[in-house]
Amino acid sequence: MKKVGIFGGTFDPVHLGHLRAAEEFAEGLKLDHVIMVPSANPPHREESPGAGPRDRLEMVRLATGANPRLEASDLEIERGGSSYTVDTLLEIRRRQPEWELFMALGTDAYNDISKWRRPGEVISLAHLVLLTRPGFAVDFLGPLPEALRTEYSREGDMYRHSAGATLRSMSVSALDISAGSIRSLVSRGLSIRYLVHSDVFEYIQRKGIY
């Protein structure tokens, strides 16, 4: 069975923090590959993204093109509208029922999971891997809606859902880069070289994004 990772985000723009985390996620869990899925219209963000969906997808394509471990997916952008994780997982399941899915989540995103659409399905469709900074403790069950907490039992250093999917953490390199800080640097006319993949750097410059 193929082990496949899913790494979602706004990727506005994709930066080296995302790419390094995805690389360590793939390597650490011995995944066959990681699909990076830029969202069309992130339902939980207050401001709309700076770059359009096509540009965000193209930047993910440029950043991952030379890496056989990472792959850009147009699934959410093609679907359009608000991007709900449950719909994405169900679609990947439908297309590739034989894949074992591992979904990477930043703890910031996981802390909001009770606000997601159908979180009960999300946690049973894929193994959840909470990406943490080295040395940070994770509250595994706290963010879940109360009714879902009882579905889990402890298994070593992870939790297992009654449907079989696991919930675990993985520590990844803490590169202090955020998409917000990159947008801010560009808008102030400052350099973002070495914060993003060189092809992404050139793309942003050429198209005058942000």
Least Å distance, CB 31 to ligand ATP, is 16
One of 4, 5, 6, 18 touching ligand ATP (CB under 6 A): 18
Decide whether 18 or 61 has the Cβ nearer to ligand ATP.
18
The nearest distance, CB 129 to ligand ATP, in angstroms, is 10
- Segment interacting with ligand ATP (CB under 6 A) among 6-14, 91-99, 134-142, 163-171: 6-14
Residue 4 CB, shortest distance to ligand ATP, in Å, is: 17
Nearer to ligand ATP, 134 or 156 (CB): 134
- CB of residue 14 to ligand ATP, shortest distance in Å: 8
Residue-by-residue DSSP string for the chain? --EEEEEEE--TT--HHHHHHHHHHHHHTT-SEEEEEE-SB-TT-SSPPSS-HHHHHHHHHHHHTT-TTEEE--HHHHH-SB--HHHHHHHHHHH-TTPEEEEEEEHHHHTTGGGSSSHHHHHHHSEEEEEE-TT----SSTTS-HHHHTTEEEETTEEEETTS-EEEEEE-------HHHHHHHHHTT---BTTB-HHHHHHHHHHT--
Q: Is 40 in the site for ligand ATP (CB under 6 A)?
A: no
CB of 83 to ligand ATP, least distance (A): 12
Interacting residue ranges for ligand ATP, rule: CB under 6 A: 9-12, 17-18, 21, 105-106, 108-109, 131, 172, 175, 177-180
